[in-house]
Amino acid sequence: MTIKDEFSWPRLVQQAEGLLSVSSDRISNAANLSALIFQEVHDISWVGFYLLHGRTLLLGPFQGKPACASIEWGKGVCGTAAASAKIIRVNDVESFAGHIACDVNARSEIVVPLIKDDILLGVLDVDSTSYGRFGESDEKGLAELAEVYLRSVV
Ligand code: SME
């Protein structure tokens, strides 16, 4: 019998460091990081990247149901996080004016802007069907994963 190891953010960060060390390609590493997060983090319904092209965030690698293909700068939680260059945590998506409902079952969300050498590459977006799913430790863990991603890519 095997007992599944307990989840810990530092361990996931370590796993991500290994996984992303073999490539420096933005798409490959975004694909692997979203798969790792989706596999390891409990109670999330969607995780993925929106990558900046001009003033539009275009859907990149993700795990979960099909999602909105593009988000304009400053729109929705993703566009707001991109424009403000700040992490946004939303406990109840209905309370966020302008939230874009790609999945009607999503209840809470966290978006981490991806900034490398002062340039915004895009955002990492994670959704849950539970209210208030993302706390401070999740924010810290996802911010560290974003740093691992940013260090890994050229
Ligand atoms: N809810 C996001 C849109 C992206 S989906 O959640 C995958 C937003 O308001 O920007």
Ligand 1 atom with minimal separation from the 46 CA: 7
How confident is the model at residue 149, as a pLDDT?
A: 98
Amino acid identity, residue 153?
V
Cβ–ligand 1 contact at 102 (below 6 Å): yes
The 3-state DSSP class for residue 148 equals: helix
Question: Token digits for 135?
Answer: 């706390």
Walk along the chain (154 residues) in steps of 10 and give the mean pLDDT of each run: 76 98 98 98 98 98 97 98 98 96 95 98 98 98 98 98
Question: Token digits for 94?
Answer: 């209905």
Cβ–ligand 1 contact at 77 (below 6 Å): yes
- Paired residues of 124 in beta bridges: 49, 112
Backbone angles phi and psi of 82, in degrees to 5 = -65, -50
Cβ–ligand 1 contact at 67 (below 6 Å): yes
